Structure 1
Amino acid sequence: MSLRDVSLLTSYLAALATSVVIYRLSPFRPLASYPGPVWRRVSMIGPAAATVSGNRDRMFADMHKQYGDIVRTVDPTFVEPLLGAGGLPKGPSTSKERSDEGYAAPHPPIQITTEAICRRRLTQLLVQRLGDQSGSADLGLWLKYFGYDFMCDTAFGGGSELLRNGDKNNVWAIIEEGIVVCTVLHTLPWLGIYLGKIPSVVKPMLLLQENGRQMAKARLERGSKTRDLYHYLCNEDLSDRSPPAIAELADDGILTVVAGSDTASMTMTNVFYCLLTHPEAYAKLQAEIDKFYPAGEPASETKHHRDMHYYGNEALRLYPPVPLGSQRRVPHRRHEDGGFVHNEAAFMPFSIGPMNCPGKDLANLEMRAIIVALMKNFNFRLLDGWDPAKFGEDPKDYFLVARPELIEIKL
């Protein structure tokens, strides 16, 4: 490329960037009437940089205090119209339409209902492994191991033994590093094309993809032993259809395992934090569990869940594992005043509408069974000298919440 070509290209890019900035700051843009910081009007590069710090949720809270309810996000009034059955489609960071624009689109989310089966083997193994510990144990760590094994059982019919063998391959370190990269690309999806060319940047994601590919291949080779998720993803229930491509199966496997294991294990950790810092709540829940699960009643039995009125979802409200949710695409028209009806249903940890979490019922069964099993078999208390305030001091929002310093539990 000659010097003249470089000069022309530079001039073109500068003129393009200048025109975009001028338009986005102009009063002619459809969103110009809505308040908000100037830097967010100009580009999403600033918000993407802010995601690296993990402070997205606090940043949005501060903007709400300064600018009011409408800061390109949602308040309770808009929940049903935006997210419900007649609501808006997913935003560009998750829409398959992005592939038509030349961007790298993530695989569309799977919408499959799985049988909500509590894995008694893993519940018993978690109780056994915690019982083998002496002195104290990091409960959050063991719940992460359980969550990953549970979701691998659910998706692949097995393939992970973190509870039994520990995290020898640093699976959780790879997941937590990959989540940071994914959050940046979620904010700036067009940047994925360029960052994807830099191996060091996307290494955690590549490792996750390779791990998912290996687990998918192993599952295809051994076939179906139970009606796991792959029984349906591989079309094993449809004799006239061949399985999808291995890359597609690997993507679905990664989505299922990562999304299901991190959210549930973090929520269970939060539940125990809330219980251990509120002894009166601990005592009430313990009494309810003792009533419905006396000696001889297996903790994996789910028939009592509907009668346990004290056990609720308060930890999901106080410490949601996905604080900001996902984007929605605004249609090219203005909503008239009065078009939204007030709706108090602001509590939506699993989202709502047709694109809500497909694993909601499974997650609730899993968490209830594990909390029952742990409280049935152990008496927990905080480690001496541990400051409960540290738990909520600095959680990091990388779409999913990264764990702050975890509780250590005396057994």
Structure 2
Amino acid sequence: MDPNLQLSVAILAASALATHLWFRNFEPQSYTPVLVGLLLGPAPLAISLWRHSYFISTSFCLAYPSFYVSVLLSIVVYRLSPLHPLAKYPGPLLARTTKLWAVWKSRDGKLPLCYEYLHARYGPIVRIGPNELSVVEKTLIPHIFGVQGMPKGPIWDGRRITPSNSRNQGNYSLIGQRNSLRHAQLRKAWNRAFSAEALLDYQDIVVNRARELANQLEAACKRNEGQVDIAKWISYFSFDFMGDLAFGCSFDLLQRGDKDGYQASMDKALILPSLTQHVPWLAHAIRLLPVGSSATGAFGAFAVRQAKNRSTQNVIRKDLFYHLVNNTYSEEEASPFPLIVSNAVLAIIAGSDTTASVLSNIVYYLLSSPLYLERLREEIDQSFPSIYDGSTSLDAARLAELPWLNAVINETLRLQPPVPTGLQRAPEQGGGGRAIGTMFVEEGTAIQVPPFVLHRDPRYFSPDPQKFWPDRWILAGKDPKVVLDLGAFIPFSFGPANCVGKRLALLELRFVVALLINRFELDFAAGWDVHSWEANLRDRFVMSKGELMVDMKPRGK
């Protein structure tokens, strides 16, 4: 072989291997190191070819494609080889090769169904990425999410929505904070905001908003001859309530509809992060493009406006904004404004979209099972006979004790958890890996637990884990044929990074369901395709939904 050719081949192999090892050991979270590696990596080969009589243009045309092919080949061979740390775990060939597989599978929002199929085929531990596992093993949940568990995984580096001139992790919201110590620090303010004392203050807001929802639905019934998209109105309620809770003011969607496009911009803003979460460095590059930043930018700008408006109000009102501003670090030190904005986005999305999807699914499942609906109505009527005329007030403590109401809510949370697949953890960066149960998770490996799949596992929920059957929550512990393992029930996640608003969410669900069932006769709208509801559910980290058309009329009128 020509010595010059030998030298070029050696340079090609060395530079490709070096680039592969660099990316392997220093997983890029932004596009800058990717560009640097891909642009500078072929340079030694191009220079070598140029020095050995090739024209400079020819040298570059030969060097760069050869380099890229070599790097890709090196990466693919390694990821599929027995030398890879995750080689023993089964999974689709493309998933083991590239995370672009997950991007493709996420495009239509049906990733939960994909994961369900994979676990049915491969078992409780499936390799869903070159360096990622999906786990539906109950015994591992405390090791993954518990006090001694792991911090948030890399998907959060690809889910940033708010516009910011700073990528300082100190300004990341609570839910996206990957540093465990920083997360615990941020969590203190949220714990105060959702303490038992604070929930008492919020209860009147929930009741008033729920009554407004019922009144607006009654008016909509008259305008539309009883046929309404109840999912839309529930979303309006949730959005307005989060305005009250987060900023002490309503967004007035129940009164005016989404004329300003606030909710529409939020729904659109969730689509891109649901794709880029799988390839974090790609997220930063896409944000530079107009097509990538328009939807997220519009919603981020909306959150900034709300935070600025609230910050200019000279009132002492203990809403969520108050706690975040005054208590994130200490009683004396206020939070930086970018952090407030990040948390404003978190509050609006996590507090409105999740509750709205669960409430809408409750309505769907009850209308699909009229006997369950009547059973719930009897229970509510007996406890609160006259909610609709205002002579009986809803009481949170009494609602929490209604067995069938809570069974319906829990069963809906089981089948359609508000966050169906996005619970990911990874070893602390620089920590060298973690042992979880009998597994050792190397640094750079992420573990995902999809509640959608876990909650339908017959080992933990049977009989009929795919069926809406609230009786399982009543019969568990009484009927030996009924399996209900609460250790595998994680609709609000698990451990110190679980959903801080869980108690408030349950309060909302109970109030709204009780009020709607007591005040209205409900049925699917005539001619509406009932099967379209589940077909239109989309996993965008939280659940995105379509229309839920119902015929409804006030009871006794």
TM-score, normalized by length of structure 2? 0.68
Cα distance change on mapping 1:325 and 1:224 into 2, 3 Å: farther
Question: What's 2:135 paired with?
Answer: 74
Cα deviation for residue 8 of structure 1 reads: 4.3
Cα deviation for residue 329 of structure 1 reads: 1.0
Q: Is the 8 A contact 1:104 1:190 kept in 2?
A: no
Cα distance change on mapping 1:26 and 1:146 into 2, 3 Å: same
Cα deviation for residue 394 of structure 1 reads: 4.1
- Alpha-carbon distance between aligned partners in 2 of 1:128 and 1:58, rounded to the nearest angstrom: 37
- The match for 2:336 among 232, 239, 245 is 245
Q: Is the 8 A contact 2:241 2:250 kept in 1?
A: no
- Alpha-carbon distance between aligned partners in 2 of 1:333 and 1:245, rounded to the nearest angstrom: 33
- The match for 1:378 among 509, 520, 537 is 520
Cα distance change on mapping 1:369 and 1:336 into 2, 3 Å: closer
CA RMSD of aligned residues (A): 2.6
Question: What's 2:120 paired with?
Answer: 65
Question: What's 1:390 paired with?
Answer: 532
Cα deviation for residue 152 of structure 1 reads: 1.2
Question: What's 1:126 paired with?
Answer: 213
- The match for 1:89 among 140, 151, 161 is 151
What aligned pairs does 1:76-155 form with structure 2 within 5 A after superposition?
76-94=138-156, 107-109=173-175, 111=187, 112-113=190-191, 114=194, 115-116=198-199, 117-118=202-203, 119=205, 120-133=207-220, 134=222, 135=225, 136-155=227-246
Cα deviation for residue 227 of structure 1 reads: 0.6
The one-letter code sitting in structure 1 at the alignment partner of 2:97 is V
Q: Is the 8 A contact 2:231 2:547 kept in 1?
A: no
Confirm whether residue 321 of structure 1 aligns to residue 418 of structure 2.
yes
Moved more, 330-339 or 40-49: 330-339
Cα distance change on mapping 1:78 and 1:240 into 2, 3 Å: closer
Cα deviation for residue 247 of structure 1 reads: 2.2
Question: What's 2:402 paired with?
Answer: 308
- Alpha-carbon distance between aligned partners in 2 of 1:17 and 1:104, rounded to the nearest angstrom: 32
- Alpha-carbon distance between aligned partners in 2 of 1:168 and 1:90, rounded to the nearest angstrom: 36
Q: Is the 8 A contact 1:381 1:410 kept in 2?
A: yes
Q: Is the 8 A contact 1:276 1:282 kept in 2?
A: yes
Question: What's 1:228 paired with?
Answer: 319
Secondary structure, in 3 states, of the residue corresponding to 1:348? coil
Q: How many residues align?
A: 403
Moved more, 357-366 or 17-26: 17-26
The structure carrying a bigger strand percent of its residues is 2
Q: Is the 8 A contact 2:522 2:550 kept in 1?
A: no
Secondary structure, in 3 states, of the residue corresponding to 1:160? coil
What aligned pairs does 1:259-270 form with structure 2 within 5 A after superposition?
259-270=350-361
The one-letter code sitting in structure 1 at the alignment partner of 2:398 is H
Q: Is the 8 A contact 1:64 1:70 kept in 2?
A: yes
Q: Is the 8 A contact 1:273 1:407 kept in 2?
A: no
- Alpha-carbon distance between aligned partners in 2 of 1:226 and 1:336, rounded to the nearest angstrom: 46
- The match for 2:507 among 354, 365, 369 is 365
Question: What's 2:283 paired with?
Answer: 192
Cα distance change on mapping 1:336 and 1:107 into 2, 3 Å: closer
Secondary structure, in 3 states, of the residue corresponding to 2:148? coil
Moved more, 149-158 or 342-351: 342-351
Cα deviation for residue 287 of structure 1 reads: 1.2
The one-letter code sitting in structure 1 at the alignment partner of 2:488 is A
TM-score, normalized by length of structure 1? 0.90
Q: Is the 8 A contact 2:173 2:342 kept in 1?
A: yes
Residue deviations 1:245-281 (CA, integer Å, cap 9, x gap): 3222111101111111011011111111111121211
The one-letter code sitting in structure 2 at the alignment partner of 1:163 is L
- Alpha-carbon distance between aligned partners in 1 of 2:331 and 2:95, rounded to the nearest angstrom: 51
The one-letter code sitting in structure 1 at the alignment partner of 2:98 is S
- Alpha-carbon distance between aligned partners in 1 of 2:290 and 2:107, rounded to the nearest angstrom: 18
Identity %: 29
Q: Is the 8 A contact 2:364 2:548 kept in 1?
A: no
Cα deviation for residue 7 of structure 1 reads: 5.3
| Unaligned segments of structure 2, at least 5 residues | 1-38, 40-55, 127-132, 161-165, 176-185, 441-458, 461-484
What aligned pairs does 1:167-178 form with structure 2 within 5 A after superposition?
167-178=258-269
Cα deviation for residue 131 of structure 1 reads: 1.5
- Alpha-carbon distance between aligned partners in 1 of 2:545 and 2:123, rounded to the nearest angstrom: 29
What aligned pairs does 1:10-29 form with structure 2 within 5 A after superposition?
10-29=65-84
Confirm whether residue 182 of structure 1 aligns to residue 273 of structure 2.
yes
Relative contact order (C-alpha < 8 Å, sep 6+): which is higher?
1
Question: What's 1:56 paired with?
Answer: 111
- Alpha-carbon distance between aligned partners in 2 of 1:153 and 1:73, rounded to the nearest angstrom: 37
Secondary structure, in 3 states, of the residue corresponding to 2:228? strand
| Unaligned segments of structure 1, at least 5 residues | none
Larger Rg: 2
- Alpha-carbon distance between aligned partners in 1 of 2:384 and 2:373, rounded to the nearest angstrom: 16
Cα distance change on mapping 1:122 and 1:36 into 2, 3 Å: same
Cα deviation for residue 294 of structure 1 reads: 2.4
Question: What's 1:332 paired with?
Answer: 433
